[in-house]
Amino acid sequence: MQVLVTGCAGFIGSHVTEALLESGAAVHGVDSLSTNYDPETKRRNLDGAREWDSFTFAELDLATARVEPLLAECDAVVHLAAEPGVRPSWGSRFDVYVANNVVATQRVLEAAKEHPERRIVFASSSSVYGHAETFPTPESARPRPFSPYGVTKLAAEHLCSLYGENYGVETVSLRLFSVYGPRQRPDMAFHRFCRAALEGTQVTVYGDGLQTRDFTFVADVVAAVRAALASPVAPGSVYNVGGGSQVALVDAIDLIAELAGRPIEIEKVPAAAGDVRATGADVTRARGDLGYSPAASLEEGLAAQLAWTEGARPAPATGAFT
Ligand SMILES: NC(=O)c1ccc[n+]([C@@H]2O[C@H](COP(=O)([O-])OP(=O)(O)OC[C@H]3O[C@@H](n4cnc5c(N)ncnc54)[C@H](O)[C@@H]3O)[C@@H](O)[C@H]2O)c1
């Protein structure tokens, strides 16, 4: 089996790539090494994959490069390439979000029309829900994004569903909820909190810190992606992939401080535009159709991320995103 992994040098992409290689698949990874954070960090994310002869890599931008040859040569696609992050999606950077999240996805799907039997697993996001109507939130809840980022992920997810319904392209969208673990992006909360705990520096918390998130360990996301590649589900299907708990940010900080054996000093700043109060996944559908069952507790996952942070070479967060 040859799998095309887009965004393979990113946080989640590098884990998915390694897991597929370990399972015996050949992986062709593509990534533009975009500058949402240091491209050197992304190159390092590929160190593990590069040890495999069954891994090949091409640096390219899916919003502009020829995508057809990539689709012609693979049996399945895991489409993770995107511009992530809620807060920077306002203002002039919106163009980047549209290009990397909407245009790039549409181009992958156009190429897939020629090979509709190839499974395409798309990384959607909990941000499509915005201020959700119910908790835990089922897939049937009305999506109402609260950020420009969420709008682009919902647009891409709709594209996946309609190429499924119109052309039979075997798309499956996974709505991922706040993913964390080793190699997490430097702009993300747990990355900054782990660093602060180890370095004794202050962290910035947006809002009162009582906002809750359904945090999902990256290995559970990898398991969901692999199940979505293999399960016989209808083209255009959508699934929540959450970690199984709703935790307030301040409680997660306390847990990181406890694991690190050092208090974390918090500076509270006003809530950021686009941030929602709570997220919480109802994973009943994924459990039934994909056999998905999150395995990592928050404590285990954070211990793994702290250990990684301790061993990682310094990769300071880009100022704009902290
Ligand atoms: N991390 C999370 O909590 C989370 C939650 C929900 C959804 N997601 C989605 O999961 C996916 C991976 O997120 P991540 O956190 O690993 O982010 P990441 O930034 O670490 O990885 C994304 C990768 O895509 C690449 N990329 C961007 N635009 C591209 C293009 N046009 N062509 C080729 N490559 C391109 C980037 O260079 C980057 O390496 C994204 O689609 C994101 O929207 C992430």
Sign of CA dihedral 102, 105, 107, 113: negative
- Residue 201 confidence (pLDDT) above 70: yes
- Residue 121: predicted pLDDT: 98
Please confirm, yes or no, whether 149 is among the known catalytic residues: yes
- Residue 312: predicted pLDDT: 81
Which DSSP letter does residue 294 get?
-
Probe residue for ligand 1, chosen from 18, 37, 60, 80 as the CB with the greatest number of ligand atoms within 8 Å: 80
Per-residue pLDDT tens digits for 216-244: 999 999 999 999 999 999 999 999 999 99
Burial class (CB in 10 A: 0-12, 13-18, 19+), 283: buried
Cα gap 79→137, rounded to integer Å: 24
Probe residue for ligand 1, chosen from 32, 109, 121, 217 as the CB with the greatest number of ligand atoms within 8 Å: 32
Percentage of residues in the chain having pLDDT higher than 90:
95
- Residue 123: predicted pLDDT: 99
The pLDDT-based confidence of 318 (bands split at 50, 70, 90) is: very low
Distance between Cα 2 and ligand 1 center (Å): 21
- Residue 321 confidence (pLDDT) above 50: no
The pLDDT-based confidence of 316 (bands split at 50, 70, 90) is: very low
Cα gap 277→279, rounded to integer Å: 7
**Which residue ranges have their beta carbon within 6 Å of ligand 1?**
6-7, 9-13, 30-34, 36, 42, 61-63, 80-84, 100, 104, 123, 125, 153, 176, 178-179, 185
* Nearest CA-CA partner of 321 in 59, 85, 25: 85
- Token output for 292: 């998905």
Q: Are 227 and 292 in contact (CB under 8 A)?
A: yes
This prediction's pTM: 0.97
**Which atom in ligand 1 lies closest to the alpha carbon of residue 14?**
16
The pLDDT-based confidence of 111 (bands split at 50, 70, 90) is: very high
Per-residue pLDDT tens digits for 276-309: 999 999 999 999 999 999 999 999 999 999 999 9
The pLDDT-based confidence of 32 (bands split at 50, 70, 90) is: very high
Residue type at 91?
G
- Residue 320: predicted pLDDT: 29
Residue type at 80?
L
Please spell the DSSP secondary structure of 13-52, one letter per residue. HHHHHHHHHHTT-EEEEEE---TTS-HHHHHHHTTTGGG-
Instruction: Point out the least confidently predicted range of 32-46, 92-106, 304-318.
Output: 304-318
**Which atom in ligand 1 lies closest to the alpha carbon of residue 62?**
32
Per-residue pLDDT tens digits for 52-75: 999 999 999 999 999 999 999 999
What is the average per-residue pLDDT within 89-116?
Answer: 97
3-class secondary-structure state, position 76: strand
What is the average per-residue pLDDT within 261-270?
Answer: 94
What is the average per-residue pLDDT within 130-138?
Answer: 96
The more confident residue out of 315 and 216 is 216
The pLDDT-based confidence of 317 (bands split at 50, 70, 90) is: very low
Query: How many CB atoms within 10 Å of residue 239?
Result: 27
- Residue 203 confidence (pLDDT) above 80: yes
3-class secondary-structure state, position 310: helix
List of residues 6+ apart from 143 with CB closer than 8 A: 128, 129, 130, 154
